[in-house]
């Protein structure tokens, strides 16, 4: 009888299991070898263990439940642009793969479920279409689905999602959720979409500036790390370094793929990431919790835009194939 009741509430159960998967990742990935993590709970070291009597062990706070072997069907795809985290079905010896495998097995044992990933070939669009069609048709085809953020946001208005804050056992402020991001995707104080440690793709898309240490030394340029630490890393400094690196290596009087450029990167990533790096937002949440496009009234965004475009286009330091299409 209890099992039947649980199955009828698939939405709650699927989010509960997804929550546990999210909660267990930082626990499992922090363990290994003969480190202190094996002998002391997370957040407790040998020194603090001797002085603290109260345990600080990280727990998910979910009561012991038994789904009696329920097959939990998870829709995912073979997308190559992100790490396909829900299709980890065996150990391979890879540290990340095996940590996620162990996480899944731990949740299976904890809740008495069996994970059955439904893997759709191709990019996420196919899985997105299947998810939408089966839900609208009222079919019981799967229990949960992993989608790209931009796709999920576009489906909120279709009434396919519920507010995470209304679900039992979900504590949205805990450390396995990416709270800074989730606070920005609130809609009228409701979380229809959540990002957390379950979403490995968010690590795939963490952007950074990489530099060639050998070139830095040969050009006698300052260490970017030290400039950042001292608060002296600016657009102007970045531009100066990029200009210093440009060299017509073969001496033919033209800058081509055979020469040395000051900067390389995807055209659709550089500008938005520099805007984010300047702590500017194109959309702001108003007092009613509604996202509003505010870029048009934000002069600072236009200043950043102009400076970045000057650096990459006008200064001739950015390597592209045609001016818009990268070939690096």
**Contact residues for 157 (Cβ-Cβ < 8 A; gap 6+):** none
288 and 249 inside one domain: yes
Q: What is the pLDDT of residues 95-107, one digit of tens each?
A: 888 988 898 898 8
324 located within any domain: no
Tell me the percentage of the chain whose pLDDT exceeds 70. 74
Cα–Cα dist 58/98, whole Å = 21
223 and 187 inside one domain: no
Q: What is the pLDDT of residues 92-136, one digit of tens each?
A: 999 888 988 898 898 899 889 898 887 776 666 777 788 788 888
Q: Specify the DSSP class assigned to residue 222.
A: P
Token pair, residue 87, equals: 């299709």
Q: What is the mean pLDDT of residues 154-167?
A: 80
25 and 149 inside one domain: yes
Kindly indicate the confidence band of residue 216, based on its pLDDT and cuts at 50, 70 and 90: very high
59 and 139 inside one domain: yes
188 and 147 inside one domain: yes
Least Cα distance to 111 among 13, 238, 211 occurs for: 13
Of 202, 221, 236, the last residue of a domain is 202
Domain that holds residue 224: 213-314
Average per-residue pLDDT in the chain?
74
Tally of CA atoms within 13 A in the half-sphere of 318 that contains its CB: 21
Of 153, 171, 202, the last residue of a domain is 202
56 and 198 inside one domain: yes
pLDDT for residue 144 is more than 50: yes
Cα–Cα dist 194/190, whole Å = 10
Residue pair 76/120 in contact by the 8 Å Cβ criterion: yes
Of 202, 235, 268, the last residue of a domain is 202
Please state the domain count of the chain.
Answer: 2
pLDDT for 244 equals 92
Q: Specify the DSSP class assigned to residue 172.
A: T
Kindly indicate the confidence band of residue 82, based on its pLDDT and cuts at 50, 70 and 90: low
Cα–Cα dist 94/117, whole Å = 20
């Amino acid at each position: 009888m209890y099992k039947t009741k649980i199955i009828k509430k698939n939405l709650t159960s699927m989010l509960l299991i997804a929550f546990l998967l999210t909660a267990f990742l930082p626990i499992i990935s922090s363990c290994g070898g003969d480190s202190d993590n094996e002998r002391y709970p997370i957040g407790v070291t040998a020194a603090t263990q001797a002085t603290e009597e109260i345990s600080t062990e990280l727990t998910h706070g979910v009561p012991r439940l038994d789904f009696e072997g329920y097959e939990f069907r998870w829709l995912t795809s073979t997308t190559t642009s992100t790490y396909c985290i829900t299709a980890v079905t065996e150990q391979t010896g890879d540290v990340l793969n095996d940590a996620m495998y162990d996480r899944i097995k731990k949740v299976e044992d904890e809740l008495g479920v069996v994970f059955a990933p439904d893997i759709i070939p191709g990019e996420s669009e196919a899985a997105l279409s299947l998810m939408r069609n089966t839900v609208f048709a009222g079919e019981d085809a799967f229990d949960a689905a992993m989608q790209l953020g931009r796709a999920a946001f576009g489906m909120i208005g279709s009434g396919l999602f519920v507010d995470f804050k209304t679900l039992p056992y979900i504590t949205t402020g805990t450390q396995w959720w990416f709270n800074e991001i989730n606070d920005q995707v609130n809609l009228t104080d409701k979380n229809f979409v959540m990002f957390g440690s379950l979403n490995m793709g968010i690590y795939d898309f963490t952007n950074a500036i990489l530099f060639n240490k050998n070139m830095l030394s040969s050009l006698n340029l300052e260490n970017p790390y030290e400039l950042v630490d001292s608060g002296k890393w600016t657009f102007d400094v970045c531009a100066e370094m990029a200009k210093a690196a440009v060299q017509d290596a073969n001496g033919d009087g033209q800058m081509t793929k055979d020469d040395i450029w000051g900067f390389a990167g995807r055209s659709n990533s550089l500008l938005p990431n520099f805007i984010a790096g300047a702590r500017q937002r194109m959309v702001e949440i108003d007092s009613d919790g509604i996202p509003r496009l505010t870029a048009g009234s934000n002069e600072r965004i236009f200043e950043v835009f102009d400076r970045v475009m000057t650096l990459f286009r006008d200064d001739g330091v950015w390597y592209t194939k045609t001016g818009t299409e990268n070939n690096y």
